[in-house]
Amino acid sequence: MTKTTRHAQMVGRRGELMIELFLQDLDPVYVARSDLDFGYDFFVGFENAEGGINTSAVVARATEQAVRDRFHFPKNRYDELSHSNIPVLLLVANVKTNQLYYAWLTPDDTKGREGVQMISIPVNEVDEDAKQSIRRHLSGLTRRSTGAAVESVS
């Protein structure tokens, strides 16, 4: 194993741990981490107003680079994930600054973007207000809205 590969694995693992701790802090009924590579890194369950459990998928990404307000993602993976029958939350961990960013993956965000390999997804930094909003979305207390367009990246 090369030093670069080991470093990338450590960055990825640290990002996953940051995200798992964040999800646990939202007080879910459960957080399940997947060891299988089928697109999702976590499943989370939150009690809804009717007494049931709403399940959502979480895609975790880690980086040492500045995220700002956009995150680049392979369009084919985005399309696969966003056409899921359950809500999908993207959480990006900047492991150097210990900051989290999020976006809801929806199929409408990539319409008209055929032929591009990468897309730029608008993300928001997770602060206390965003944390509460994410929890409300995951428990089904509010409806998701994306409100932002995705742009192509060459």
Q: What is the CATH number of domain 3-153?
A: 3.40.1350.10
Please tell me whether residue 30 adopts helix, strand or coil conformation: strand
- 8 A C-beta contact, residue 41 and residue 34: yes
pTM given for the model: 0.85
What pLDDT shows up at residue 56?
Answer: 94
What is the full per-residue pLDDT of the chain (154 aa) written as tens digits?
677 889 999 999 999 999 999 999 999 999 999 777 778 999 999 998 889 999 999 999 999 999 989 999 898 899 889 888 889 999 999 999 999 999 999 887 666 667 788 988 999 999 999 999 999 999 886 544 444 455 656 5
| Residue ranges per structural domain of the chain | 3-153
> CA-CA distances (angstroms) from residue 145 to 26, 102, 115?
20, 13, 26
